[in-house]
Structure 1
């Protein structure tokens, strides 16, 4: 087996077809087909099955691809380390952002990082659920992760960046927008836009609802904070998200809540991290967290 075969298999899984994978990799289609067939022969298994919607990994294929992703990421990191000098870094930096954390802080920090290391390629895993985040971390894929709460000791080093206050997002014209803060008990009769059952964000919301004796109606569940905010803005229901996760243009619809809901924000960094990770960590420390005062009623 070769690293190239791993990369080809991952591309086919991502694109759903050999043709699209070949275009992504900028190689000839027969080359991709040949490499996949050779890999399956060597392994003695079928990695992909053909469906009306395209090529889909088999059960064995999914397990193989998880390890292949780890191997490819490790190889990229090794190449970057070998080719990097004191002032030039070539390679990929993998970042994860849990619960929409860093939506406002990451763009500026990553832009500054790119100025420092212009040949660095950045991959961001947006809002992975806890299981996916742990898999990526244990697989050695991640270089830095933004997460609420401390990370597992030994696997990554946790650095406290600040505290993130949560805000409720309401529809335009909602009477509660007139207040500086919204009392959670006043939202008892409101329908809610919530998040996937296994997501970290819905875990926070479950605790908030339980602690405030709320049992509201759930009208929808989504996987992305930006989607929840947009749907709340259109009147489908209210939602609760980290303040920095509110997309630009929706700030006037967000209000902090009472009792206050907040979570500590940690940057989880691999022990022995390189210059890119440590530079990004320093840049994130310079960003502003806990920004609920940004949201104020419109007079």
Structure 2
């Protein structure tokens, strides 16, 4: 009883700074209660992550029929999958059971959900509106857009946490350290680990190439502050980074899922692709440009 009360909701979060309103008010509180109920069991965060992948894929499949009931069930399952995605991280922080492979799996989780959703939406558009197979090119462009948007969002939010911790004990990694870990796994000995870390390396390398001014800033910090980032610099960065959060929140699961749910339930599946390609891509350019200027100022 005493152990339960000693664990606070905030301690189960990475940081309140990086949580948007819907996460703080809905997803995370539910995730916290589930994580607390599992903390003394043999269930691990990675088990939750893998289970959430199956739930998210099932949700995507239910978006195929043009049927409000099945589609609504798909919405419920995707909400459940996102709650589980919160649970794995909160459980890891509550129990201290963390792993590098867990972070990679967690990052791939949403990508697998949406890969299913893109395929299903394409097939639905072909069936409902008799669109040709060219719709898959639109889905591919949408998927690439999503990957880029989610990648940059993850990078900026992980960087924010890195700075709050003074540059130590953070999940923030460079592509070079990930590459070294990738090479420690052989294709013959541990092919699954090698594949996952290879994808993680490509993912991080892409993030770094998109943010040149930020990379120069981080190199400067690491070179001049080997024992940790000064408090004054942390506060200066945090103040500027917090101003970017409302814009970054447009690229989160919560924002895009609202568009997705409306598109599916109102039978306008093409609307989701349109928003990702035509609306969010220009906003991403704005976000990156602002962040790069923020670093220079």
Which gives a bigger RCO, structure 1 or 2 (Cα 8 Å, sep 6+)? 1
Between structures 1 and 2, the one with greater strand share: 1
Structure number with larger C-alpha Rg:
1
Q: Same fold (TM over 0.5)?
A: no
Q: TM-score, normalised by structure 2?
A: 0.32
Report the structure, 1 or 2, having the larger helix content. 2
